[in-house]
Structure 1
Amino acid sequence: MTPVRTARLMAVGAVLLLPFAPVLAQDAGTVSWSVTPYFWASDTSLDLTVEDTDINGGVEIPFSDLLDVLDTAFQIHVEGGKGKLSAFADLTFLETSDTIERPLLEIATNSKQTFIDAALAYWPQGVGSQLNFYGGVRYTAFDDRYEFTLGEDLLVSRRSDQDYVDALLGLRYRFDFSDRWGLLTRGDVSFGDTEGTWLVQGLFAYTVGKRQQNRIVFGYQYKVAEFQDSGLNSDYKFSGPMAGFNFRF
């Protein structure tokens, strides 16, 4: 990792923690917390262009194919709040690896993808009410490695290591159907290092437990992200069902 990238990551880490400062500065015993481990079974579409010329014809990667090469997956949403303010961080980390056999040639790939949203949310009617607006940062990082071997001999290895930091703006709204059933919706956009990203999410929530404190959540999420690097434009579309368990305390 280069010194520039290390310094950039340290700066991003500091920025990601900023939304939590107003919340953590309050009496810890009065802050309400929400922790949601989840899984997003996302299909992926990728279009590559150079100066508006399509170079890959569009690639569709169904989730079933991703599952075959998936080594590590970790996804979690953490939020704490009090009064009319809350702060949240949403983390997705994926690592995949694959080996492609060609006549006389073998190509080994390893890819790590990190997606982090960190934001401060304002609730006009107080934390836990139906509507909130949020703003923060969206961090995206790709670390791709390739090794080309001929027999037992390594011919060449290549690495593409890029990260992007965007400003993030969005809103969330909860529709209450009954004491136990609700619909959690979210929409946001980001802009900065990327060419722009946007996300929409809809999750049904079913409250469980004697105190009706925790929730089972399931639904669908769609995300579009466009990146540019040295004239190469990468247009990603991620879409698929989500499910998780929301602990509240």
Structure 2
Amino acid sequence: MKIKNFILLSAGILINQIATADSFSETLKGKPKLNVNLYVFAADVSGSINQGNIKYEVDQPFKETLKELDESFMVHVDFSKGKWGIFADKQIVKTSQEKNAMNIPVALGTKLDQSSYGLYYQAYVSPFYDFKSHSKLIVEPTIGVHRTQAEASLAALNKTAAIDTSWNEFFWGSRFKYNFDTSWNLASEVTFGAENTISAQAYLGYRFPIMNRDLNLRAGYKYFEQDYKTNNFHWEIRQHGPVIGINLPIF
């Protein structure tokens, strides 16, 4: 509860900065920066998907998802200027499988398209230290919108049951970054969605120079939980597992 109260306080600081027009121009001073993050989320998935009389229990470790994977695309784009930044995160996973249930062939296909669009503000930035002018600690409250589109189809005995739905939800939270006195760094993020969504992730990174840019290799862990209900549809899914990625500064 204390963490959630802190997140709400941080989001309030962000909104207050937006409303303070006199000092707004001061917070935009600085060079624009664009970063692209490519990552792989080795998620174990559990939960259930319900629509009317159709109920599909999900209990799928990452090794099973990998065998049945048709398509996967994961990218995070971040643009900032001064103390302000915007970001977009896209994750598409498409799977298909064929199994037998009581000697009856069953075909199952799923497609999950998750997007996040957000705005953040550097509410706290500690003084620079000597290692390439990186700040020691940065706290960035963030707000934005999650969009989820879920599709599932189940075919057996020449009959097909299909689920196709999407929804949007507001979220708030905060990001934290910490730079050691070496090339090592830490990053974490915690957000809460209006539709009972919880997202938490933490990474250990290592910077190394390539072509006058500091690439940042990162490895960590992510937990993502959604519990969405509307009419006769109920989506209750949990994803958790290790994440490996690389941060590519464009400019």
TM bucket, shorter chain: 0.7 to 0.9
Aligned with 1:136 (options 139, 144, 149) = 144
Which residue is equivalent to 1:209? Answer: 209
- Is residue 190 of structure 2 the alignment partner of residue 187 of structure 1? yes
Give the drift of 1:147.
Answer: 2.1
* Change in 2 beyond 3 A, CA 1:186/1:217: same
- The SS at the match of 1:65 is helix
- The code of the aligned residue for 1:131 comes to V
Structure 1: how far apart are the matches of 2:160 and 2:59? 26
Give unpaired runs (5+ residues) of structure 2: 1-27, 126-133
Give the drift of 1:208.
Answer: 0.9
Structure 1: how far apart are the matches of 2:238 and 2:102? 32
- Is residue 84 of structure 2 the alignment partner of residue 64 of structure 1? no
Which residue is equivalent to 2:166? Answer: 163
Which residue is equivalent to 2:176? Answer: 173
- The code of the aligned residue for 2:208 comes to V
Number of aligned residue pairs: 210
Give unpaired runs (5+ residues) of structure 1: 1-25, 150-154
- The code of the aligned residue for 2:43 comes to S
Structure 1: how far apart are the matches of 2:82 and 2:103? 65
Structure 1: how far apart are the matches of 2:224 and 2:167? 16
- The code of the aligned residue for 2:34 comes to W
Which residue is equivalent to 1:79? Answer: 78
- Superposed CA RMSD in Å reads 2.6
Q: Is the 8 A contact 1:32 1:80 kept in 2?
A: yes
Give the drift of 1:103.
Answer: 4.8
User: Deviations along 1:127-157, whole A, 9 cap, x unmatched?
Assistant: x8511111110001101122223xxxxx222
Amino-acid identity (%): 23
Which residue is equivalent to 2:106? Answer: 107
Give the drift of 1:59.
Answer: 4.7
Give the drift of 1:178.
Answer: 2.3
Give the drift of 1:69.
Answer: 0.8
Structure 2: how far apart are the matches of 1:94 and 1:189? 22
TM-score, structure 1 normalization: 0.76
User: Deviations along 1:178-232, whole A, 9 cap, x unmatched?
Assistant: 23101101000111xx3x1011110001001154611001100111110224445
Structure 1: how far apart are the matches of 2:46 and 2:175? 26
